[in-house]
Amino acid sequence: MAIKHLAPIALAALLASCGGSGNDDNASDLIVDTNPNSCQVLASNGSSVTVGSGLAGDPAAPEAASGYRLGYKAKYSNSYMVVANTPLASKAGCEVLKAGGTAADAAVAVQAVLGLVEPQSSTIAGSAFMMYYDAKTQKITAYDGRETAPAAATGYYLVRQDQQTQGSATPVPSARRSGRSIGVPGVMRMLDLAHNEHGKLAWNKLFDEGINLADKGFLIPARLGGAISSNASSLALDANAMATYFHSDGTPRAAGETMTNAPYARTLRILADQGADALYTGELAKNIVAKAAQSVGDDPAKTPITPSLMTLQDLAAYQAKKREPVCSTYRGSYHVCTMAPPSSGGIAIAQALGILGNFNLGAYGPTNPSNEGGIPSVMGVHLVSEAERLAYADRDLYVADTDFVALPGKGVASMLSPDYLKLRASLISPDKSMGTASAGDFGTPAAGVGKSEEHGTTHLSIVDAYGNVVSMTSTVESSMGSFHMVDGFLLTNQLTDFSSQPVDGAGNAVANAVAGGKRPRSTMAPTLVFRGTQPGDFLMATGSPGGGTIIQYVLKTVVGALDWGLDAQQATSLVDFGASNSVTTNVDGANTTLDLTALVAGLKAKGHTVSTSAQSSGISTIMRVKKNGAMMLEGGVDPRREGIILGDGAM
Ligand code: GLU
């Protein structure tokens, strides 16, 4: 480990000078790290390399997309750490932490860079959930920056141009590519709220890295290069997207090329100077509304596009919210807190853990965990996936935006009641898969089941030098969202996370139906774990993209660490496995060096249908563990994506 030099300095220039960062903590000194090697990576010869320098060993210089990156070991840091799914985003966050910023400050900087270098996964006009642990007050806040549907949207918004039950055509060229999928953005007002409550650095200082990269250029990462070419025909309807992601001859910009994004730099300058509100009122808001209302493509064929019904009032009225975190005790030893509705992910994870608490899961760990987390055991996968089937059954039927649709029974308390979960656990046979599960009966009328989901999301975990923690999942919904681009950023297709039909086949109202001002149900599950039965002794921050499978990715990581003693990297690398409420159990085939034959055969013998498709998780994990007698931060980054871990000292 490189030695770090943490030195308090006077506040002066770095302190909040705009945007009302009215936190009392600002009265205390910043912890600034003066070690020049911090936020750098260690090259194979032991020297430190600046991320983004383009020098040998620079993780931001893309190699050919390599699938699963083998050989990752946990990385350690003394006082702060950031794990994101793109190197330049990790760097932006790390530099803020190095300068004495909090995890909330760093999250703003990371998001600003993600919208530029990982636009296939998130956008400043998208949505996010953030779990924030404040070390001083030992309080956890669940921030909800989920998009809303425009006020004018009704149940048939996604399936009928005129929103009537039947009759008019479906949105064109598709619900996703039309304006109908575009949500009223949430993430910037959420970050503003979190920064006001937990920031130490001035808001206007948090965009420097993003502005610099957008102005001077960056090497297109392999995943972005792939997203541009695979989405070329949809992007071709948007002149702004063409100008940004394609050469003037129409060929897609490719991985490894340098690209700039001048409109994005300008947008970040506006956000830096005027605050997050600039996205919700004024010029940027007008441009978003006009873009969402586009009714004809910019392509030579002038492809018709069904416009959004979003208005300036929708943007002005958008509110980020604070939700009651979904917290439960696992095995009497851990306090697990995760996201509340409108995400369904948190309740499902808490339910599955509550069910698994009835089994001796610790006896069924993976073999040879030092090899990429090892090969999971048949019984381990069986029990976890059965618990998930039961949790998904409740999730599919009951969970939506609780501002519009109440949870069944007495809400979270009923859904997480130990007696209820014990009853659910009794439905699991050790020998035979249940195939599909029925939802539990809470004595309240059930809604209809609706389906949705897709893939264009990312996760970041951050611990700052003050001990505060962020676990944040941020999304554009599907890769590159709705392909509408304005002022350098993409607009989402988040509203396709609603059920497309407001009633099911039997005529029951669907809980996750579209309604004006409502938030589409999410699965994102940023999660925090503490030792003991209350917050205080921070143990773990984790989360992942993956649409409906997020629950499976996060749960296997948590169980890997808590039940099977895996370190942060092993738990993250471990074969993704699990099941939604179907007969199919996923056993991730991404790491082709592992022989999963016996595992698959064992599961089949218990009646599971097994899919070994490669899973595209993007798990970012930080744990706080004892190492050589001292407490240290231990990072794990998903080998299935491109991210890196950075902290104090080169890593
Ligand atoms: N939009 C999805 C959600 O909020 C996430 C999509 C993804 O992970 O790719 O649950």
370 Cβ contact list (under 8 Å, min separation 6): 570
Under DSSP, is residue 329 helix (H, G, I), strand (E, B) or coil?
A: strand
The pLDDT of 413-427, averaged and rounded, is 98
Q: What is the pLDDT of residue 168?
A: 81
Q: Is the CB of 547 under 6 A from ligand 1?
A: yes
CA 566/CA 335 separation, integer angstroms? 18
Same-domain status, 466 and 558: no
Tell which atom from ligand 1 comes closest to the C-alpha of 494.
1
**Average model confidence (pLDDT) across the chain:** 94
CA of 630 to the centre of ligand 1 (A): 37
Q: What is the pLDDT of residue 455?
A: 67
CA of 332 to the centre of ligand 1 (A): 31
212 or 24: which leads in pLDDT? 212
CA 193/CA 474 separation, integer angstroms? 16
Tell which atom from ligand 1 comes closest to the C-alpha of 453.
2
Residue nearest to atom 1 of ligand 1 (CA): 477
CA 462/CA 153 separation, integer angstroms? 36
Task: Check whether 140 has a pLDDT greater than 80.
Answer: yes
Whether residue 176 is contained in a domain is answered as yes
pLDDT in tens, 396-416: 999 999 999 999 999 999 999
Same-domain status, 146 and 275: yes
Strands (E), 297-430: 321-323, 326-330, 334-338
pLDDT in tens, 369-392: 999 999 999 999 999 999 999 999
Task: Check whether 114 has a pLDDT greater than 60.
Answer: yes
Q: What is the pLDDT of residue 28?
A: 59
Q: What is the pLDDT of residue 505?
A: 87
pLDDT in tens, 444-502: 766 666 544 446 899 999 999 999 999 999 999 999 999 999 999 999 999 999 999 99
- In the set 123, 148, 267, 457, the catalytic residue is 457
**Residue 457 known to be catalytic:** yes
Q: Is the CB of 199 under 6 A from ligand 1?
A: no
Whether residue 194 is contained in a domain is answered as yes
Query: Between the CA of residue 67 and those of 43, 253, 292, 459, 644, what are the distances in Å?
Result: 21, 21, 35, 18, 15
Same-domain status, 247 and 274: yes
Q: Which of the four pLDDT bands, split at 50, 70 and 90, describes residue 18?
A: very low
Tell which atom from ligand 1 comes closest to the C-alpha of 455.
9
The pLDDT of 316-339, averaged and rounded, is 98
Q: Is the CB of 497 under 6 A from ligand 1?
A: yes
Q: What is the pLDDT of residue 4?
A: 41
- Domain of 346, CATH number, reads 1.10.246.130
pTM of the model: 0.95
Same-domain status, 344 and 465: no
CA of 479 to the centre of ligand 1 (A): 10
Same-domain status, 361 and 280: no
CA 124/CA 133 separation, integer angstroms? 23
Q: What is the pLDDT of residue 11?
A: 39
CA of 299 to the centre of ligand 1 (A): 29
Q: What is the pLDDT of residue 66?
A: 63
CA of 585 to the centre of ligand 1 (A): 20
Q: What is the pLDDT of residue 447?
A: 64
Same-domain status, 312 and 340: no
Q: Is the CB of 477 under 6 A from ligand 1?
A: yes
Q: Is the CB of 454 under 6 A from ligand 1?
A: yes
CA of 343 to the centre of ligand 1 (A): 10
Ligand 1 pocket: which of 453, 494, 499 to mutate (most atoms within 8 A of CB)? 453
Whether residue 225 is contained in a domain is answered as yes
Amino acid, single-letter form, for residue 473 = T
The pLDDT of 198-216, averaged and rounded, is 98
Antiparallel, parallel or unpaired: β 537-542 and 485-486: unpaired
- On whether the CB atoms of residues 587 and 381 are closer than 8 A, the answer is yes
Whether residue 34 is contained in a domain is answered as no
Under DSSP, is residue 645 helix (H, G, I), strand (E, B) or coil?
A: strand
The pLDDT of 499-520, averaged and rounded, is 94
Number of domains in the chain: 2
Ligand 1 pocket: which of 457, 495, 640 to mutate (most atoms within 8 A of CB)? 457
Range of the domain at 611: 322-436+521-641
Q: What is the pLDDT of residue 65?
A: 56
Residue nearest to atom 2 of ligand 1 (CA): 547
Tell which atom from ligand 1 comes closest to the C-alpha of 550.
8
Amino acid, single-letter form, for residue 324 = E
Exposure string (b/e) for 90-99, b if CB count within 10 Å is 16 or more? bbbbbbbbbb
pLDDT in tens, 101-110: 999 999 999 9
Same-domain status, 420 and 549: yes
Same-domain status, 573 and 601: yes
28 Cβ contact list (under 8 Å, min separation 6): none
CA 345/CA 586 separation, integer angstroms? 18
Q: Is the CB of 33 under 6 A from ligand 1?
A: no
Ligand 1 pocket: which of 176, 187, 477 to mutate (most atoms within 8 A of CB)? 477
The pLDDT of 267-289, averaged and rounded, is 97
Question: 520: which 2 tokens?
Answer: 């589409």
Task: Check whether 224 has a pLDDT greater than 90.
Answer: yes
Q: What is the pLDDT of residue 413?
A: 97
Whether residue 122 is contained in a domain is answered as yes
Same-domain status, 210 and 106: yes
Whether residue 572 is contained in a domain is answered as yes
Same-domain status, 315 and 214: yes
Task: Check whether 1 has a pLDDT greater than 90.
Answer: no
Same-domain status, 468 and 602: no
Under DSSP, is residue 187 helix (H, G, I), strand (E, B) or coil?
A: helix
Same-domain status, 116 and 174: yes
Whether residue 647 is contained in a domain is answered as no
CA of 128 to the centre of ligand 1 (A): 10
Q: Which residue pairs, CB below 8 angstroms and at least 24 apart, start in 297-300?
A: 297/236, 297/237, 297/238, 298/237, 298/238, 298/239, 298/242, 299/236, 299/237
CA of 145 to the centre of ligand 1 (A): 13
Q: In 3D, which of 134, 191, 190, 234 has the Cα closest to residue 480? A: 234
Task: Check whether 21 has a pLDDT greater than 50.
Answer: no
Whether residue 566 is contained in a domain is answered as yes
Q: Is the CB of 493 under 6 A from ligand 1?
A: no
Q: Is the CB of 457 under 6 A from ligand 1?
A: yes
Q: Is the CB of 475 under 6 A from ligand 1?
A: yes
Q: Is the CB of 523 under 6 A from ligand 1?
A: yes
Q: What is the pLDDT of residue 321?
A: 98
Q: Is the CB of 456 under 6 A from ligand 1?
A: yes
CA of 546 to the centre of ligand 1 (A): 6
Residue nearest to atom 6 of ligand 1 (CA): 547
